[in-house]
A and B are shown apart, each in its own frame.
Chain A
């Protein structure tokens, strides 16, 4: 089947190609799972997942993705979308920390209006991120996480923490499957590619 031919679609496809490695999913999965497991297992080692997630993502991009997929710099519209995503995610993390701090200090009970707002905010933030980053599977992750938070807040143990762990395990698993497929589909090209010397001399 031929692909849809439009410039917007071409840009989206270039962006999707750039994210085919599954590393973003692995990063999200590690962050969620690290946070989730902490709630069920009282062991500081799980914090390690949170600490190593970003370095693993950056190393993966550098040593796995770029040698196989090459480098690309996107245009202004995509950069604007990326900036919006970063601002929304940054604001969400900040708001979560502030709300968590307030909830702890004021001893807000589970299942309150605040909990409902947290669920809605989670879904909205991940939905907005999915929209701006053209990552449709983020909608599913957002719903899973929103559902897990709702179960944690309104149902409690043991279903809540288990659902929370599942919401982290799903992106992690999807990311690993994508990474394996990426490694098989895109082997490192032979050394004679002109990137090392420049094109003019080789063409």
Chain B
């Protein structure tokens, strides 16, 4: 019997693209985090150009999906939050990259 997923697969490869990652803002955040070990909120704001509110919302979604983790560290007496990609976040990003590459490569010129 054909499942809903199978029929989705036959329709278009883009249907299986991870939508949590696919949003441009979240893609920017994940790209920034993919190339470093960890960064704080301010550095992500600077590197992506997102506003505080916007970044906060997107980080929440990525955290809910289990793609990022927050690490509380202390700098002197002040608590400081560093954000890093989780193992599943890294794997999801790699998979997303491969899927997108495949989809774009398969397009006719």
**Stretch from B3-11, B12-20, B30-38 forming part of the interface with A:** B30-38
Give me the interface of B with A, judged by CB distance under 8 Å: 31-32, 34-47, 52, 56-57, 59-60, 63, 70, 72, 78-83
Residues of chain A at the chain B interface (Cβ within 8 Å): 7, 10-11, 13-14, 17, 68-76, 78, 186, 189, 192-200, 202-203
- On whether the beta carbons of B59 and A203 are closer than 8 Å, the reply is yes
- Are A199's CB and B83's CB within 8 A? yes
Q: Would A202 and B56 count as touching, CB distance under 8 A?
A: yes
Q: Are A74 and B36 in contact (CB under 8 A)?
A: yes
User: Do the beta carbons of A17 and B46 come within 8 Å of each other?
Assistant: yes
Contacts beyond the supplied A72-B36, A76-B37: 5 A-B pairs with Cβ under 8 Å:
A69-B46, A70-B44, A71-B82, A194-B56, A195-B80
Q: Which of A11, A189, A199 contacts B35 (CB 8 A)?
A: A11
Chain A residues in 8 Å Cβ range of B78 = 196
Bound form: Cα–Cα A20–B32 in Å: 17
Closest Cβ–Cβ distance, residue B82 to chain A (whole Å): 7
- Nearest CB in chain A: distance from B27 CB, A: 10
Return chain A residues, CB-CB under 8 Å to B72.
198
Query: Nearest Cβ in chain B — how far from A40, in angstroms?
Result: 41
CB pair B40 A70 closer than 8 Å? yes
Contact across chains for A73 and B81 when beta carbons are under 8 A apart: no
Alpha-carbon distance A203/B54, docked complex (angstroms): 10
Set of chain B residues within 8 Å of A196, measured between Cβ atoms: 78-79
Least CB distance from A33 to B in Å reads 31
Q: Could you tell me if A14 and B32 are in contact, using CB atoms closer than 8 angstroms?
A: yes
Q: Is the CB of A75 within 8 A of B41?
A: no
In whole angstroms, how far apart are the Cα atoms of A194 and B82 in the complex?
Answer: 11
